[in-house]
Structure formats: structure tokens, C-alpha cells
Structure 1
């Protein structure tokens, strides 16, 4: 079968029409997976799955991971992450990531084996609040000069969760916007640091099914470029960032209740606007080890 679609913008994203996530059969799932292979960002609107339906659908793409830091897992379903600024009756936050700006980044790139698929279900999402922007790193790679491609094609970036000294000039001006603002004690910071050693990945990934190439990097996590001194590494990451984070590669999503957004971290950077903390916002997310037979993944030899 084939779903009708319409573009989210001229440069990125597809809305899939007529799909109901709660009743996706094998044929419909394959059609959605094929669309996600082609386009790094998909949207389904007016969805209302149960937690189990959401998890069952996510599992069809691969094993679900539980991320370190930021989001908070559901007590009943640890694979289901809550993102919210709301508080429960005991005074604790229901979810993670609050209402602050989230700078341009790639999820889990700091892991030895990142789970690169994200499916995000907006349950209570005030209109024009906490907008999320996505930057198409596959399109950015295609538009890159041959000189810069020749440098990045063989480059490997070393990343660290919550590094206090990001390599890029872009992030050195925004160090106050990293995860450290959420940390309440030195012990908590050390615990997270101990759980997240440095990880090094190729800066260009290729999809085995269609040959599509994409840039794979994260401005706020990169600490070094393998085999380069600090000056040379900074020059390369700065050139990649300057080329990639341009309006022509970016789509900004205004959320509505019931939106389900699929994004592929192997082909996208994303950014969230800050918003007024008086406005309630609640979402659920799964993070998936995508099948390397169908998607570009950072470490295919480690795929689960």
C-alpha cells in the first residue's frame, strides 16, 4: 500500500495522511518505514495511541533504548520517556527537559552505540510554544563543496555528554545552555560523567539501501576531531556547522496536540525554543536502535 503525503516545507519533512498508529498492519508499517528511509522527518497528526500501542509500533523499527539524562522514563514503562515541565502531586517533575532552550544537537551521539531513531508523541502541546526546529544534514552534505566533503568524508568526531569544553566556536558561546544547568550536585555530575565516557563516530554516514549520505555530528557534544590538533579540529567543525545550520536546510515545527513526529538523528540536528513555564507541556518519546538493513546507523557492527 501507499499513503498519501504532503511536504512539511520546501526543504524537509513529510506529513503522512490517513495513517492511524494504533492499527498499523504489516503492509502499512512497511509503507511508513519506506517513507522514513526516504525522508528523515515524518509527521502523523491527530493520533491518540495508548502507551502499549505506541510502544508496540516503536518496537517494529528496532529495540527501544532508555536514554541517559534529560528525559525521564515512565515508572510503568521504562522504555517510554516523558518530556514535560509539569509536576506530580509529590512535587517532583513528571518528565525531563523542562522549558529551557535546547541548542542544536544530535541525540545520543555521546554513546558508544547510539540509538538514532526518535518517535515523539505530543500529548499536551500548546500552539506556537516550544517549537522544534530540524536541520537536514543529508541535504547539507549534498550541497557541500567538494573540498569540504574531502575533509569530512574520512573524519571522525569524539563526543562527550555534557562536556564543559565543546570544540566548536558556535557552542563555546553557549556553554550555559548545556545539561549542566539541570545538575543539582557535584556528585550527580560525576555519576553522569562516569556513565558516559567519550565516544568517537564517523562524521559521514551512508544508508545501505539507497546510498544516501548525511553529516553526523553534534555542536554541543563534540570535543575533538580524531587525528587533528585542537586548532585544526575547531576549523573543521566550525566549517561544517557554518555550512549546515542554514535556513535552507531547516524546518520549524509548530506542535499540535496529537502530533507524532519521527526523526532520524543520523540525518538531522534539532533545536527546541525556550517557552513560558506557566504553559503546560507533556509529551512521550521512544528512542530506537534502527535496523541497519534499512537505515544509516552510527555503529552498524554494534547494532542490536
Structure 2
């Protein structure tokens, strides 16, 4: 993996054994956070104070804010631009609910380019490992991926089915193909969402074209085992005031489920931007 480090990059400790991510000192100015995530793939800053308005302004300072209006106004239950991941007990809502989410690329089912994912913990109570956000260094995982796991990805497409129609209002009703790689001019990387683990409610399903359901499930299980190896994975235990920014082009991310009596209220923004020359020039090998 090739990378470039900005000459004025802030210092901090990496978040994974593979070197992904940085935990920034508390006194790091918010103006330095954008460069930190471009240099390191993930940036964590604690003890930040935002309300809904100031969080929206911060998101807008990072790039072109992604929003859903006009013909797409109902996407994501009509959240428009800032999604409240409030751990709702509404059983019909999976993405904003309390169950786990498998590793995935933001924007994959909707076909939306998402460069940065911005997560802020407005309120957190009574949680430990539950509710953690997990982030995978997918570029490092690809470098070490065994050939049998690579081949279905190199074939170019997987097929998806969106169950959570209240969130994915603009996608096809049945199975449809999605490319396994994406390149928006900055980083070439996997475009992927793993299947749910059999919990009561799933937001989507995915399969390998041409394989039996059993063979497809076995391949996904092996792929998940590889991607969640400790060397590539960061598990973030949330505290109120945490600001976690994820480079969606270099990572996959997911969520551990929440226990019934816990509280985890996050604000999520997404931005996109043109190719940035100071960002790491990492690419997937053998693609």
C-alpha cells in the first residue's frame, strides 16, 4: 500500500495493527481533522461539543454534504442530510435501529459516492462493547487476501436485494448487480456489503452470482472471517463527545448490536469531493 503523509500532519497513535487510523490529542483543532482522516483513513477526536446546528456546519466544512431531496426526499426515512442513528426500538428500522450491521461500504445500494462518514456521539449511556462501530482496513486486508476469496470479487459483480424499503426507496425491487470495485479518482477499493448474520431483521441480502446459496454463504463466511482479523479491525467503544471520521474509500465499517436498556445516539453526516492530491494514493493490488 502506498501512502503520502502531509508535511503538517498531526501526531497520534494508530488505531489498528495494520497502521490504519489515528487517535488525535484532545487539543487538536477541528480544522486539522480533515487532513488527519485523509492521511490516516480514520480519525478519532474525543471531548467535542456539537449541537445539531454546529454539527451540520462542521460536516459542510469537510466537503460537499450529501443530502436527499426532491425525487429522493424519502430515502432513509426522509433524513435529508444529517441522519440520527438513535438506536430506535422500531423493529422495522434496521440501519437506525439496535441490531448489528455487517461490514459495508456507505452508499453502495443507493449508488451514492460517499468519501467521508462523520459520526458524532451526542449521548451515550450504559454501553461497553455493545453498540461499537467497527472499521476494517480493507486495503491491507486485500493485500493479504487468499486467492479463493479474491476470485468472486475479481469477477466484478455481486447481487443485492434491499429489504428495508423505507430506507432504500430508490433501488430496484428484486435482486440487482453492483460492481465489486469503485474508483472515484482518489482510491480504488472494494465496493462491498456483507450479509446479515441471521438476526430477526435484515436491511439487505447479497449473493455470489452462479453459486448455490450454500456455496455463496460459505464464501461470505470465509470473507468475513478474513476481514475481521484483529490486524485489520478497529472497534470503537463510544463515549459522549466522540467524533469519529471514516474515509469510506479506504475502509469498510459496521456496528455491534445494542443491548435493550442502553443509549447510543449518534449524528451521521456524509460528504463527497473531487480527487485530492494530498490524499494517500493507495490502490488495491492485482486489480
The residue number in structure 2 matching 1:169 is none
- Shift in Å, 1:242: 4.0
Q: State the alpha-carbon separation in 2 of the partners of residues 206 and 194 from structure 1.
A: 25
- Shift in Å, 1:286: 0.6
Q: Does 1:2 align with 2:41?
A: no
- Shift in Å, 1:96: 6.8
Output aligned runs, 1:1-304, within 5 Å.
1-11=8-18, 12-17=20-25, 18-21=27-30, 24=31, 28=32, 32-59=33-60, 60-66=62-68, 68-69=75-76, 73=79, 78-85=80-87, 97-126=96-125, 127-128=127-128, 129-145=130-146, 148-149=149-150, 152-162=153-163, 179=164, 189=165, 195-197=170-172, 200-206=177-183, 208-209=185-186, 213-220=188-195, 221=204, 223-225=206-208, 228-231=209-212, 234=216, 237=220, 240-288=223-271, 290-294=272-276
Whether contact under 8 Å (2:134, 2:233) holds in the other structure is: yes
If each structure's helix is expressed as a fraction of its own residues, which one has the higher value? 1
Q: State the alpha-carbon separation in 1 of the partners of residues 48 and 14 from structure 2.
A: 19
Whether contact under 8 Å (2:76, 2:168) holds in the other structure is: no
Alpha-carbon spacing, 1:33–1:152, altered in 2? closer, same or farther (3 Å):
same
Whether contact under 8 Å (1:216, 1:267) holds in the other structure is: no
Partner secondary structure for residue 5 of structure 1: coil
CA RMSD of aligned residues (A): 3.5
- Shift in Å, 1:38: 3.3
Whether contact under 8 Å (1:141, 1:213) holds in the other structure is: no
Whether contact under 8 Å (1:125, 1:282) holds in the other structure is: yes
Per-residue CA deviation, residues 53-73 of structure 1 (Å, 9 max, x unaligned), is: 322222232232348337x73
- Shift in Å, 1:224: 4.4
Partner secondary structure for residue 110 of structure 1: coil
Per-residue CA deviation, residues 69-120 of structure 1 (Å, 9 max, x unaligned), is: 37x73xxxx4222111479xxx9xxx97232223333333111234353101
Per-residue CA deviation, residues 148-176 of structure 1 (Å, 9 max, x unaligned), is: 546534512233322xxxxxxxxxxxxxx
Alpha-carbon spacing, 1:214–1:46, altered in 2? closer, same or farther (3 Å):
same
- Shift in Å, 1:208: 4.0
Whether contact under 8 Å (2:84, 2:265) holds in the other structure is: yes
Q: State the alpha-carbon separation in 2 of the partners of residues 240 and 16 from structure 1.
A: 31
Partner secondary structure for residue 263 of structure 2: coil
Q: State the alpha-carbon separation in 2 of the partners of residues 160 and 38 from structure 1.
A: 34
Partner secondary structure for residue 162 of structure 2: coil
Whether contact under 8 Å (1:133, 1:270) holds in the other structure is: yes
Per-residue CA deviation, residues 160-211 of structure 1 (Å, 9 max, x unaligned), is: 322xxxxxxxxxxxxxxxx5xxxxxxxxx5x6666322664432345745xx
Alpha-carbon spacing, 1:266–1:239, altered in 2? closer, same or farther (3 Å):
farther
Q: State the alpha-carbon separation in 2 of the partners of residues 122 and 275 from structure 1.
A: 15
Per-residue CA deviation, residues 109-143 of structure 1 (Å, 9 max, x unaligned), is: 11123435310100112352412222221111111
Partner secondary structure for residue 157 of structure 1: strand
